[in-house]
Chains A and B, each alone.
Chain A
């Protein structure tokens, strides 16, 4: 009798506490990240924003002082610094030009690699090589190298510059002549020439996107394709009526991924410029101001792109 009495409320408490227990377990699982957020990341973010409104001086004894100067750093970056605005403009322009190229290229390659053929696994492996191998340190050494080589060619003009022209993948002049012979607009010629010259960069940057598209393509049920072919649709029609709408959520994912990737990559011109500013004498606060401005612009671009694309996206599941 007594045992039943004690058991009943205990049971009740237990059923409530299972929820609480699970909640607590959730907090424990994300605890490492929370600690990092609290003691490292959020202070860093706030400090970085705060520093961009300050003037920084080191103190000889091993310390530093910060003096609040308002928007002085931002004004310096926008109006006094001669090339920041220009670099920012060209950087954003090239980003906007590159995004469609990367997304379309990776979609095309994913469709190709999704077909059955000999050596498919080998091609996939090769296409993923840049993601692993040409990042970070190797990239940086290449960049430093090409700078050095350019300096070399300006010093001893002649032989060196011609040999460099020969090692280039596609000759710049040929494409320009071919396209201007076709009487298309000057702007288009420039765009295509830039694309061809940037082909290597585009291929390099589309490794992960290609895989995301591939995964998306493989998740489309073969039954849909089968019924299409029974109804007599051609491959071309099937692509636009089935594959494209089904893959459209991945186009959004990939576009956002591409923006973030090119924005945070070490090859980004604006970031390189900010890095240069950082190492100048009083550039630390100015570079912080510059990067927060750039960050805001990129966030706005992501927002606009996502808003535009999400009106066209077709979701198969509507839950």
Chain B
């Protein structure tokens, strides 16, 4: 009772004090102090710095957009920097007429299916590593980390040989049945095999992220389900999987965009060019003479990343939040 009275009085007093000081005095105290000046300078400095770095990041994209619309006259004209005088869409038209949509469709199908498989498999494997203590858990997880560290260039030749003469080690099943090993080169089988076994590009990272995420999920959740009589897999599919959908979206987006811009595996597995993908279509189609080549390839790379940009505009929140939520930070 007493206390409330005091607060009321003080509040009132503050209000009265505030109204008695003149407008100019209040302005002086608030805006002409050293701390406000420091803050303002810091705000401006920070804004300029961030804008500058954003410019550096976006600069290559801006120049690419600019030069892809330039006609050959603009390219040799030294006065033209960013805005072309005679804009043209011929570079785009040339690429689009040369089977761009075929490549787009094939790459889209391949990337979507592979990213989906990778997401599910990594979720599965990550859950196994996070929630079950079995013998060799640590050792096998160390192997996951190893797949992350070993660069794919180091195993390039061995990987090519593996899929050129595919067979099971020690069993030689295909040689036994068909007389010779299974030649998987120039088919899409290697992509799906690698995705389904969690060995495709950066899948070690996804497994790691998934494991860290599941470690943050309290065990009581599953224990409650077990007590209610739900089995291990039913618990996983009905409780854990729906819960981890935001994290899976993050991993799906990563997997999709890295599969989309992949050239290493695509060029290794698809060598005759029968399956038209972005990776073997655009670099071959977007060429030209020395002056033209850079503008053509700018148009080509913009066509490659255009679907990704659209995706990123809508989904960047998931990507950024996903890493923050994954608890890579321990």
Contacts and interface: CB of A to CB of B under 8 A. Distances in A.
Contacts of A216: 329
Nearest to B153: A271
Interface stretch (A19-27, A81-89, A184-192): A19-27
B305 A138 contact: yes
A121 B324 CA distance: 14
Interface in A224-271: 249-250, 253, 260, 263-264, 266, 271
A123 to B, nearest CB: 5
21 contacts: A25-B232, A26-B133, A27-B128, A29-B127, A33-B125, A33-B198, A37-B143, A39-B168, A41-B199, A117-B46, A127-B54, A151-B290, A152-B291, A155-B290, A203-B57, A211-B320, A214-B324, A250-B329, A263-B149, A288-B157, A295-B154
Interface stretch (B10-18, B24-32, B91-99, B308-316): B308-316
Contacts of A218: 324
A6 B320 CA distance: 57
B267 to A, nearest CB: 10
Given A37-B143, A125-B320, A152-B290, A45 B155 contact: yes
A219 to B, nearest CB: 6
Question: A-B pairs with the 8 shortest C-beta distances?
Answer: A36-B197, A29-B128, A26-B132, A136-B261, A291-B154, A48-B158, A30-B128, A215-B324
A270 B293 CA distance: 26
A32 B125 contact: yes
A48 B153 contact: no
B128 to A, nearest CB: 3
B238 interface: no
A10 interface: no
Contact of B161 (A47, A124, A149): A47
A56 to B, nearest CB: 8
Interface residues of B, number: 91
Contacts of B156: 278, 287
Q: Find the residue from B149, B154, B156, B294 having the highest chain A CB count within 10 A.
A: B154
Contacts of B233: 25
Interface string B116-149: 0000010011011101111101001001100111
A145 B297 contact: yes
A248 to B, nearest CB: 11
A275 to B, nearest CB: 6
A132 interface: yes
Contacts of B49: 112
B282 A29 contact: no
A196 B272 CA distance: 43
B275 interface: no
A26 B128 contact: yes
Interface of A: 21-23, 25-30, 32-41, 43-45, 47-48, 51, 64, 109, 112-113, 115, 117, 121, 123-130, 132-138, 140-142, 144-145, 148-149, 151-152, 155, 159, 163, 167, 169, 199-200, 203-204, 208, 211-212, 214-216, 218-219, 249-250, 253, 260, 263-264, 266, 271, 274-275, 278, 284-285, 287-288, 291-292, 294-295, 299
A64 B160 CA distance: 13
Given A22-B232, A203-B57, A271-B153, A124 B258 contact: no
B323 interface: yes
Nearest to A252: B330
Contacts of B246: none
A21 B231 CA distance: 10
Nearest to A38: B169
A132 B312 contact: yes
Nearest to A113: B50
B114 interface: no
Contact of A45 (B124, B150, B297): B150
Contact of B54 (A126, A288, A292): A126
A141 to B, nearest CB: 5
Nearest to B76: A159
B319 interface: yes
A36 B125 CA distance: 12
A125 B323 CA distance: 13
A149 B61 CA distance: 18
Nearest to B203: A33
A125 B297 CA distance: 26
B323 A208 contact: yes
Contacts of B151: 263-264, 271, 291, 295
A214 B198 CA distance: 28
